[in-house]
Chain A
Amino acid sequence: MAANKNIPVTSSIRRWLLPCFALVFIATIAWTYQPDPIPMGPYQLVYPANFGNRINVPDDNPTTQQGVYLGRMLFYEPLLSANGKISCGTCHQQALAFTDGKAFSEGVDHTLTPRSSMSLANLLWARKFFWDGRSESLEKQAAVPMTNPHEMGQLMQTSAHKLMKTAPYPELFRKVFGDEGIDGPNIMKAIAQFERTLISANSKYDQYLRKQYQPTRLELQGLALFENAPQPAKSIRGANCARCHGGAKTYMELFHNNGLDSIPKDIGIAELTGLPGDRGRFKVPTLRNIALTAPYMHDGRFKTLDEVLDHYSDHVKRSESLSPFLRGESNEVNGKSLALKPEEKKAVIAFLNMLTDSTFVTDPRFSDPHQNIAKNK
């Protein structure tokens, strides 16, 4: 600084003028220039350690940021349906934990789906998809509702053709899949990549497991009932929910006949296997965000969680294929049903409400990007 003391003021200004000009010029360019908004590179799937690492990502479809970006666009893209009005997001709405609040969903031909739309959360760990587990990957699953004439009702080739003519898809597909371009398998791969990012891990229950939330007395009572199998001889009361819904993910990939009917109208996985023991057996759904995903069961027969609890407590119907753990489990000695008390049902529901993850259902990363684009225009 001492060396600059003798320099005249005017010369100093002149010296600074040029860099300042250059700065203003660069800033102006940056302001008008639209930087590439598409993130590139591997996608970091972030989840709690207690969810375990038994994830299901096919070797030929690694998760990338650009793939997830494209998948999200496609998930909410009505062009993928025959009438241009239905997207995956129609039956899987974020605010309802990716269900549609209906027992059955209406397709392009105005018929109703035979089963209720499933909640989408923590699919990264799933290995069997649909109520009957017929698909072993999200990639294969995606093709079914898209091409089913009663759902989205459009051939994959037609979808690919429509996307080829719609900006920014040709460029986006090139960024994700290189020269392979737009085709059926790549549409499904991108959607699957997005669906794998739908990780819900911030409910009050997760916070409790992380020791960041102190449950109420009622919630704790509900948790104990949820986890315990009834043992009346030892005076242990239980609702036995964790038998199927236990663990940090409240989700185990099991298929059960939970006693909805003696003679089921929908025979569930028996339709695929032909085994008598599989009649009325359906996938055990996740309980994550369960308070948001009514109506319940594969056919949406129960409108409220109270009805669900009443079913398991008092109305399980016997049949040859009824799952063994629902036979004769009771809180009463020699009891025929679970026989939960009204306040116990209330406690279990209080715990189930702890599974609502409000950050998940409002996370902007999972919302409809087309709406955001429309809003910003």
Chain B
Amino acid sequence: MKKHLMILFVALLSSAVAFAQAVKEATVKISGEVSAPFELKLADINQFPQTQVSRKDRDGKDHIYTGVLLSAILQKAGATMGKDLKGENLAKFASVEASDGYQVIFALAELDKEFTDRQIILATTIDGQPLAPTDGPFRVIVQDEKKPARCIKQVTGIKVAFAK
């Protein structure tokens, strides 16, 4: 009996270890034409100023999304934003990728507040609650864009590149 219990215990322990190893935390990898690439975790969000954007979802209702301006994230990674966003740097874009392989792009100038007042954020909450697992934990919300196609869900990476 003792032997069986021991085997059961070891089996449980090893499966618990395997489960702990298998489940990872979702992150957003900022890379490409940036001087300080980094990986953004959910806990890192609080170090950025929070921005709220309201937009309609598929249910036709307005929702308040809270998150960080993409420009602030790119600025931290050392992308050419603000005063550096001129000349050839205007031929740069941010390619945002989701875990299902979906991909959308934004010209850097579309994200910079010196060019536009439209806010594009990496949202982490909807109406004060964490995003649903199928949408988050990170989702881009584009203020006032007519179609939701660029409000890309389950974001895993943002890569800055030059248009060639």
Interface residues of A (CB under 8 A from B): 128, 133, 253-256, 269-270, 273-278, 281, 320-324, 327
Contact = CB atoms under 8 A, between A and B. Distances in A.
Contact of A320 (B26, B133, B135, B154): B133
11 contacts: A253-B101, A254-B102, A275-B24, A275-B99, A277-B26, A277-B134, A278-B99, A281-B100, A320-B134, A321-B133, A322-B134
Given A277-B134, A324-B135, A254 B24 contact: no
B22 interface: yes
Contacts of A269: 99
B102 A277 contact: no
B23 interface: yes
A318 B48 CA distance: 36
A373 to B, nearest CB: 41
A128 B101 contact: yes
B92 interface: no
A269 B26 CA distance: 14
Nearest to B26: A275
A359 to B, nearest CB: 30
Interface residues of B, number: 14
A106 to B, nearest CB: 29
Task: Enumerate the 10 nearest inter-chain pairs by beta-carbon distance, A residue then B residue, closest first.
Answer: A274-B24, A324-B134, A254-B101, A255-B100, A255-B101, A253-B101, A274-B22, A254-B100, A277-B133, A275-B26
Interface of B: 21-24, 26, 99-102, 133-135, 153-154
Contacts of A274: 21-24
Nearest to A133: B101
A323 B99 contact: no
A273 B99 CA distance: 9
A253 B134 CA distance: 18
Contacts of A324: 134-135, 153
A276 B154 CA distance: 12
B99 A277 contact: yes
Given A277-B26, A321-B133, 7 more contacts: A253-B101, A277-B134, A281-B99, A281-B100, A322-B134, A323-B134, A327-B134
Contacts of A270: 22
Contacts of A278: 99
B139 to A, nearest CB: 11
A320 B132 CA distance: 10
Residue in A128, A269, A276, A277 with the greatest tally of chain B CB atoms within 10 Å: A277
A273 B100 contact: no
A321 B24 CA distance: 15
Contacts of B23: 274-276
Contacts of B22: 270, 274
A256 B154 CA distance: 12
B101 A273 contact: no
B23 to A, nearest CB: 6
Contacts of A256: 100
A273 B24 CA distance: 7
A220 B100 CA distance: 30
A236 to B, nearest CB: 16
B133 A276 contact: yes
A275 B154 CA distance: 11
A253 B101 CA distance: 6
Nearest to A284: B101
A270 B19 CA distance: 12
A133 B23 CA distance: 19
Residue in B21, B100, B102 with the greatest tally of chain A CB atoms within 10 Å: B100
Contacts of A275: 23-24, 26, 99
B113 to A, nearest CB: 31
B28 to A, nearest CB: 12
B102 to A, nearest CB: 6
B108 to A, nearest CB: 21
Contacts of B134: 277, 320-324, 327
A185 B154 CA distance: 35
A334 to B, nearest CB: 14
Contacts of A327: 134
Contacts of B24: 273-275
A324 to B, nearest CB: 5
A269 B22 CA distance: 12
B7 to A, nearest CB: 24
A17 to B, nearest CB: 65
A292 to B, nearest CB: 25
Contacts of B154: 277
Contacts of B99: 255, 269, 273, 275, 277-278, 281
